[in-house]
Amino acid sequence: MSEVDLSPYRVLPVVTARDEESTVSLARALLAGGMRAIEITLRTSAALPAIAAVSEAVPEMQVAAGTVTNERELAQVVDLGVSLALSPGCTESLLAAASDAPLTFIPGVASASEVMRVRDYQMPVCKLFPATVVGGVAMLKALAGPFPDMQFCPTGGLNRDNFRAFLALPNVVCCGGSWMVSSDLVDNANWNEIEALAREAMAEN
Ligand SMILES: O=C[C@H](O)COP(=O)(O)O
Ligand SMILES: CC(=O)C(=O)O
């Protein structure tokens, strides 16, 4: 595994790609609002071309692949030259493949046992998913006790009202969310509002 440091990004926008053109416009709006990383989830057939297009057209942006759920998808993003990949979960086969892959991998966890499984692979950062469902801030405070060496990127249920409480925790390196890239904003090409929401999220972090 290589090491991409998530700490400078603070808020990772979690994007569902519609097509290459709109995802490039979206990435430009996020960048204009001060965001320097974007997670493009493998939830649509547009995702892989959109990852390639944003990497090419917006080189200032750290492009991450999200929703990587198995070895085949991991291989696809490695082939694209992606340097950062995230998953909602942490199967043994995915952890084993990712630990040998030339990228930084952030697996998803929802329990102490899953944190232990990830730590067995010497991966220091986990996505807590779905963060607000599995205990939110209280869960992260509780995990800090047995796992003082682990850092988290809580994702799932975060919004403009609650994300700062997550970022204030010492074991939170970054948080993820889609509130600034909601499908109605993207479908309506509302880049100005996306830029404003990104700027608001990045203020005073
Ligand atoms: O599955 C959802 C994404 O990981 C982000 O979660 P969110 O839409 O609740 O911010
Ligand atoms: C849950 C999430 O953020 C992901 O699919 O990577």
Whether residue 4 is contained in a domain is answered as no
ipTM, 2 decimals? 0.92
User: Which atom belonging to ligand 2 lies closest to the Cα atom of 42?
Assistant: 5
Whether residue 2 is contained in a domain is answered as no
**Hey, what are 101's tokens?**
């892959």
How far is 108 from 115, CA to CA, in rounded Å? 9
Record the pTM. Answer: 0.96
What ligand has the least distance to the C-alpha of 132?
Answer: 1
Can you say how many angstroms the Cα of residue 121 is from the centroid of all Cα atoms in its chain? 19
Total tally of structural domains belonging to the chain: 1
Determine if ligand 1 sits within 6 Å of the CB of residue 108. no
List pLDDT tens digits, range 134-162.
Answer: 999 999 999 999 999 999 999 999 999 99
Domain residue limits at 166: 11-202
The predicted pLDDT at position 1 comes to 56
Whether residue 47 is contained in a domain is answered as yes
Whether residue 5 is contained in a domain is answered as no
**Hey, what are 129's tokens?**
């998913």
How far is 33 from 119, CA to CA, in rounded Å? 34
What are the pocket residues of ligand 2 if the criterion is a CB atom closer than 6 Å to any ligand atom? 14, 41, 66-67, 86-88, 129, 155-156, 176
**CATH code for the domain of 133:** 3.20.20.70
Whether residue 17 is contained in a domain is answered as yes
